A and B are shown apart, each in its own frame.
Chain A
């Protein structure tokens, strides 16, 4: 199928100025310009966004959820990184 020779792009949309782009899905396209147009047609038919990013899926390096235990392990035993770890008397607790 011709579709299989097309490139897979991940689509990210900024719904409103000031917010981060958020992943919404993907499209197949010949190039990034076309991917942008397809993403517009597919994901913003009801004014869902003010800005679209498309990124080739193969360019995304992702962490593996199966490895998450050892991957995130170093922060598991550091509760002192959280503000709530420090118990302050009521009179000065608003900091």
Chain B
């Protein structure tokens, strides 16, 4: 057996035994590459995800709602940071990660390419988008890469607030005036399907799924996670007294799950490939914010050099 085969055998033994892989461990190149792709994509989603909600910060209807939304957006920045830190343990730099986001070679969740047209969209995002993210992230707490798993534990703890504030807002709208209720229904109609698409393509179409499952990077398949979300959302829509956006949703006695209509996969691929409503705007905004912040980074660097020179002079 070659030494590479021995390393691989040892690696697989750890995976099989449900042990975590840690940064200094040997790991197959493809495992490392796969992790960098998935964790950075996850981190980019948190970062770009600040934009649709940030759109409503200055127009929140009350100080309370504004403070809550500000806190939520702040959390997303924090989550992005946890995930970038986890990615950096794999030997890639922050600058490389950001460059890949900006030149389009790294993706982020396509849900964030949909515009937030009304205030109700902020509620729908908290409830549905963060709700779908949690289903995925709870599963990822058991991912095989230690730093990723630990970041997920931290994020899941904080994420519950996001869903609850969103749903609370939906209750307020659904129980409000007819116009408010109509806003809630419209937001639900527009965000329900893209939220289902967050789980990715069907397992049979998913390019990375099989190996990711074998290496326990992913613990449950796209379709299984999506089904969980579909099931839990039915009662939540009913409670709001809103109409379910899927006319075909139906309880299946045999499987113990809800059956629903097929997703519009053409739309999914079209948005992923850059043709959503906001793809260009999201990246342009990220690039602009990064460039406009350059003077701060330069000033910090100048200050550090000045302090260093001062200390040097004092020592001399």
Contact = CB atoms under 8 A, between A and B. Distances in A.
A91 B241 CA distance: 13
Q: Is the interface of B mostly helix, strand, loop or mixed?
A: helix
Nearest to A80: B68
Interface stretch (A32-40, A65-73, A82-90): A82-90
B285 to A, nearest CB: 26
B154 to A, nearest CB: 10
Contacts of A20: 150
Interface string B133-162: 000000000000010011000000000110
Given A78-B71, A80-B68, A89-B239, A95 B164 contact: yes
Interface in B14-51: 14, 19-22, 24
Given A18-B20, A20-B150, A95-B236, A81 B71 contact: yes
B146 A18 contact: yes
B19 A17 contact: yes
A80 B64 contact: yes
A62 interface: no
B165 interface: yes
A45 to B, nearest CB: 22
Q: Is the interface of A mostly helix, strand, loop or mixed?
A: loop
Of the four ranges (under 10, 10 to 19, 20 to 34, 35 or more), the interface on chain B belongs to 20 to 34
A57 interface: no
B128 to A, nearest CB: 11
B199 interface: no
B80 interface: no
B167 interface: yes
29 contacts: A14-B22, A17-B19, A17-B20, A17-B21, A17-B146, A18-B19, A18-B20, A18-B149, A20-B150, A51-B22, A78-B71, A80-B64, A80-B67, A80-B161, A80-B165, A81-B71, A81-B75, A81-B161, A82-B161, A83-B164, A86-B164, A86-B167, A86-B168, A89-B239, A91-B235, A95-B131, A95-B160, A95-B163, A95-B164
Given A18-B149, A78-B71, A86-B167, 16 more contacts: A17-B14, A17-B146, A78-B67, A80-B64, A80-B68, A80-B161, A82-B161, A83-B161, A83-B164, A86-B165, A87-B168, A88-B167, A89-B239, A95-B160, A95-B164, A95-B236
